[in-house]
């Protein structure tokens, strides 16, 4: 079970970590490469643990599917 206190990152913060444009991060989310959470205002946020797993080269989305979790986009 995930902690509800996990830090959420903005597309800009994720983009800075990967050294890409924030729109690229949004495209990754739309393509299912990374899951995102929508704020009440409709903005995307990304779980810090998932972002760091991707930075380490782990395939987070396939691991979620194997666990029976569906992508949250």
Please, which residues have CB within 8 angstroms of residue 32's CB and are 6 or more apart in sequence?
61, 71, 73
C-alpha dist (Å) from residue 56 to 5, 38, 64: 22, 24, 16
Query: pTM score, two decimals?
Result: 0.73
17-71, pLDDT tens digit by residue?
A: 999 999 999 999 999 999 999 999 999 999 999 999 999 987 766 545 444 554 4
Confidence band for 5, pLDDT divided at 50, 70 and 90: confident
What's the CATH code, domain 8-56? 1.10.1660.10
Query: What does the pLDDT read at residue 65?
Result: 46
Confidence band for 3, pLDDT divided at 50, 70 and 90: low
């Amino acid at each position: 079970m995930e902690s509800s206190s996990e830090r959420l990152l903005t597309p800009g913060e994720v983009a800075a970590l990967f050294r890409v444009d924030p729109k690229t991060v949004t495209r990754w989310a739309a393509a299912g490469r990374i899951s995102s959470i929508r704020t009440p205002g409709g903005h995307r946020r990304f779980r810090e643990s998932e972002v760091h797993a991707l930075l380490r080269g782990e395939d987070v989305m396939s691991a979620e599917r194997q666990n029976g979790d569906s992508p949250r986009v």
